[in-house]
Chain A
Amino acid sequence: MSSVRRMKIALAGKPNSGKSSLFNRLTGLKQKVGNFPGVTVDKRTGLCQLNGHPESEIIDLPGTYSLYPRSLDERIVAEIFANPHHREYPDKVVLIADATNLKSCLLLLTQLIDIHIPTVLALNMVDLAAKSGLSIDVKKLSAALEVPVVLINARQGYGLDVLKKLLAEPLQPSSKKIFSIAPEIQPAVSFIRKEFLLTSDYAAYQYLQQTNYLNFLTRQQKESIQEVARQYGIFPGKYQGAETINRYGFIQDILNKVILRLPDPEWKKFSYRLDSIFTHKIGGYLIFFGVLFLIFQSIFAWALIPMDFIDRSFAYLSTYLTNTLPEGPLFELIAKGIVPGIGGIAIFVPQIAMLFAFISILEETGYMARVVFLMDKIMSKVGLNGKSVVPLMSGWACAIPAIMATRTIDNWKDRLITIFVTPFMSCSARLPVFTILVALIVPDNKLFGFFNLQGLALMGLYLLGFLAAILSALVMKFLIHTKERSYLIMEMPTYRMPKWSNVGYTIVEKTKTFVFEAGKVILAISIILWVLASYGPVQDMNGAKETVQNDTRNLGLTKQAFEDKVAAYKLEHSYAGIIGKTMEPAIRPLGYDWKIGIALITSFAAREVFVGTIATIYSLGSTEDQPTIKNRLKSEINPETGGPRFTPAVGFSLLVFYTLAMQCASTLAIVKRETKGWKWPLLQLGYMTGLAYLSAFIVYQVFS
Chain B
Amino acid sequence: MLGNGKSVADMIPGETAIIAGFSDPELSVKLLEMGFLPGTAIRFNFTAPLGDPVCVSVSGYDLSLRIAEAAVISILN
- Interface residues of chain A, those whose CB is within 8 Å of chain B, are 65-66, 68, 70, 100-104, 107, 237, 240-241, 244-245, 248, 263, 268, 272, 275-276, 279-282, 284-285, 369, 372-374, 376-378, 380, 386, 485, 487-494
Contact = CB atoms under 8 A, between A and B. Distances in A.
Interface string B29-54: 11111110110000001101111110
A494 B48 CA distance: 17
Nearest to A494: B62
B59 A104 contact: yes
A513 B20 CA distance: 47
Contacts of A374: 48-49
B29 A104 contact: no
A44 B53 CA distance: 32
Contacts of B76: none
Interface residues of B, number: 31
A103 B66 contact: no
A690 to B, nearest CB: 34
11 contacts: A103-B35, A104-B34, A240-B29, A275-B46, A279-B49, A281-B49, A373-B55, A380-B66, A487-B27, A489-B30, A491-B64
A280 B49 contact: yes
Contacts of B49: 279-282, 284-285, 374
Given A376-B48, A489-B30, A245 B37 contact: yes
B65 A491 contact: no
Interface in B1-41: 25-35, 37-38
A250 to B, nearest CB: 12
B30 A275 contact: no
A276 B55 CA distance: 12
A373 B59 CA distance: 20
A244 B33 contact: yes
Contacts of B61: 100-101, 104, 491
B62 A70 contact: no
Nearest to A380: B66
B24 to A, nearest CB: 9
A126 to B, nearest CB: 15
Contact of A369 (B27, B28, B64): B64
Given A275-B55, A376-B53, A490 B60 contact: no
Given A65-B34, A373-B48, A377-B50, A244 B63 contact: no
Contacts of B26: 485
A240 B30 CA distance: 9
Contacts of B32: 241, 244-245, 248
A70 B66 CA distance: 17
B64 A492 contact: yes
B60 A100 contact: yes
Contact of A104 (B35, B53, B69): B35
Contacts of B65: 488-489
Given A244-B33, A386-B53, 4 more contacts: A65-B34, A104-B59, A376-B66, A485-B27
A70 to B, nearest CB: 6
Contacts of B66: 376, 380, 487-488
A240 B33 CA distance: 9
A377 B25 contact: no
The 9 closest A-B pairs by CB, nearest first: A492-B62, A244-B32, A377-B50, A101-B61, A281-B49, A104-B35, A240-B29, A103-B59, A377-B52
Contacts of A245: 32, 37-38
A374 B47 CA distance: 9
Contacts of A494: 62
A109 B7 CA distance: 31
A267 to B, nearest CB: 11
Given A104-B35, A275-B46, A489-B34, A373 B53 contact: yes
Contacts of B27: 485, 487
B52 A68 contact: no
A488 B53 contact: yes
Nearest to B31: A489
A247 B62 CA distance: 21
Contacts of A65: 33-34
B60 to A, nearest CB: 5
Contacts of A272: 45
A272 B69 CA distance: 22
Contacts of B52: 376-377
A248 B35 contact: yes
A175 B38 CA distance: 29
B4 to A, nearest CB: 22
Contacts of A487: 27, 30, 66, 69
Contacts of B55: 275, 279, 373, 492
Given A241-B32, A487-B27, A101 B64 contact: no
A376 B62 CA distance: 17
A650 B41 CA distance: 65
Contact of A492 (B25, B59, B63): B63
Contacts of B28: 241
Nearest to A487: B69
Contacts of B34: 65, 104, 489, 491
B46 to A, nearest CB: 7
Contacts of A68: 29, 33
A492 B48 CA distance: 12
B48 A279 contact: yes
Given A237-B29, A376-B52, A490 B63 contact: yes
B63 A491 contact: yes
